[in-house]
Amino acid sequence: MFSKQDFPNMDKFFRRNLINSLSGFKSVNLVGTANKFGETNLAIFSQIFHLGATPALMGMIVRPDVVPRHSLMNILETKYYTFNHIQESFFEKAHQTSARYQVSEFEAIGLTEEYSKNHSAPYVKEANIKMGLKLREKQELAVNKTIFVIGEVQEIILPKDCLLEDGFIDLEKAGTITCSGLDSYHTTQKLTRLTYAKPDKKPNKF
Amino acid sequence: MFSKQDFPNMDKFFRRNLINSLSGFKSVNLVGTANKFGETNLAIFSQIFHLGATPALMGMIVRPDVVPRHSLMNILETKYYTFNHIQESFFEKAHQTSARYQVSEFEAIGLTEEYSKNHSAPYVKEANIKMGLKLREKQELAVNKTIFVIGEVQEIILPKDCLLEDGFIDLEKAGTITCSGLDSYHTTQKLTRLTYAKPDKKPNKF
């Protein structure tokens, strides 16, 4: 057990690992961007979350201490960006995007740019599930100077056989992985889906 | 493939499932609260994310259409709340907290309240990893009227043998599960941890 009083005395790296692990498994994505000259950038983010379905919005937290913050600069410059799910077949390359390269991470680590006709932000060709987003709002959080980026989903690309009749995406079938902490990657194994909860009966598996 | 123009024409439940699945696997937690009379509430939330390590902050999104929003009311009233990781042994009970009960969900579904000496918000005794939080900030997001709640970690409770020397928490050993969409639950299987990425070499597994 740790209490708040322990945090300031912890080794900085110990504290970062501890607090980054603490929320649970995360929605890790590769974020694809380009500047106005078409120079691309690819970066791994794990502070990504669903914000709402109508309109379809996604939130992302950008740390203030990530310098230089090319992804954020490109998003502000062009307004468009992509989220690309990560699969086991390229998770080591995805992790490697966090190194500081002088050239595009696509080129440096060997992932393939792919484009839709609707915007100029690059997708990761190797990713099975991906979406294009348009910047809706950006704010700096007063509590710790992190940047909160809100984007509206413009398009969704996914394998047909991973989409169920009710709209649910079978992420496991698509090979999407998850992460914990700053550096641990995990595949998943489905327990079950559960029916909508009502007070008078147990949920059914399906 | 879907584009933005398709969204308004989708069946409402199809769209909710689709967009809720889209960000990837999520940090699903049970949020424990009490009102000023000590009446407890327990609710499952999957829009939870790490916001920063110094200070140790967690973000949570509360949907505007969840009525009545007891969790949020209690957090605003007492300022304290808990996040409790979910394990396979009680994920069906965790899911069931989303039904509308007239009594405390702890009692209705059969999970056990547990208290620390530092605050009045209830923990879930059955949960291996949990944390107490104090409200730091609450804002309504203009884009979709969701409520963004920021809390500062006050204490962390976890099994000693799940904490590694470098601060990393072995969530898998603790039995923490993840979810996707609105109703699918998954255990995980670790691929590996990867060393800090540097441009001139491949990351090592450890």
The answer to whether residue A162 neighbours chain B at the CB level (below 8 Å) is: no
pLDDT at A202: 86
Across the interface, of A20, A155, A163, the residue whose CB is closest to B50 is A20
Interface-testing mutation among B5, B13, B15, B18, with chain A (most A C-beta atoms within 10 A): B18
Nearest to A18 among B26, B154, B167 (CB): B167
Chain B CB contacts of A63 below 8 Å = 52
User: Residue A183 and residue B194: Cβ atoms within 8 Å?
Assistant: yes
Nearest to B23 among A58, A187, A203 (CB): A58
pLDDT confidence band for A64 (50 / 70 / 90): confident
- State whether the Cα torsion B176-B182-B185-B188 is positive or negative: negative
DSSP string, chain A: -EEGGGGGGS-HHHHHHHHHHHT-SB--EEEEEE-TT--EEEEEE--EEEEEETTEEEEEEE-TT-SS-HHHHHHHHHSEEEEEE-BGGGHHHHHHTTS--SS-HHHHHT--EE--SS-SPPEETT-SSEEEEEEEEEEE-TTT--EEEEEEEEEEE--GGGB-TTS-B-HHHHTB-EEETTTEEEEEEEEEEBPPPBTTBPPPB-
On average, the pLDDT of chain B sits at 96
Note the pLDDT of residue B81.
98
Residue B162: predicted pLDDT: 98
pLDDT in tens, B36-77: 999 999 999 999 999 999 999 999 999 876 656 899 999 999
pLDDT in tens, A86-114: 999 999 999 999 998 989 999 999 999 99
- ipTM value for the complex: 0.96
- Under the banding of pLDDT at 50, 70 and 90, the label for residue B191 is very high
> Where is pLDDT greater, at B65 or B179?
B179
pLDDT band at B201 (very low <50, low <70, confident <90, very high): confident
Instruction: Say what the pLDDT of residue B19 is.
Output: 97
Token pair, residue B186, equals: 């998954």
- Chain A residues lying within 8 Å of B96, measured CB to CB: 197, 202-203
Per this entry, what is the length of chain B? 206
Closest chain B residue to A198, measured at CA: B99
- At residue A66 the predicted structure's pLDDT band, cuts being 50, 70 and 90, is low
Q: Nearest residue of B to residue A155 by CA position?
A: B3
- Residue A78 pLDDT: 98
pLDDT of A57 higher than 90: yes
Instruction: Identify the band that residue A48 occupies on the pLDDT scale cut at 50, 70 and 90.
Output: very high
**Cα separations (Å) of A128 from A49, A184, B137?**
18, 21, 37
pLDDT of residue B198: 92
Could you tell me the pLDDT band of residue A67, with boundaries at 50, 70 and 90? low
- Tell which residue, A118, A98, A69, A123, has the closest CA to residue A185: A98
Which of B15, B25, B158 is facing A178, going by the closest CB pair?
A: B25
Q: Which of A22, A41, A137 to mutate to test the interface with B (most CBs of B within 10 A)?
A: A22
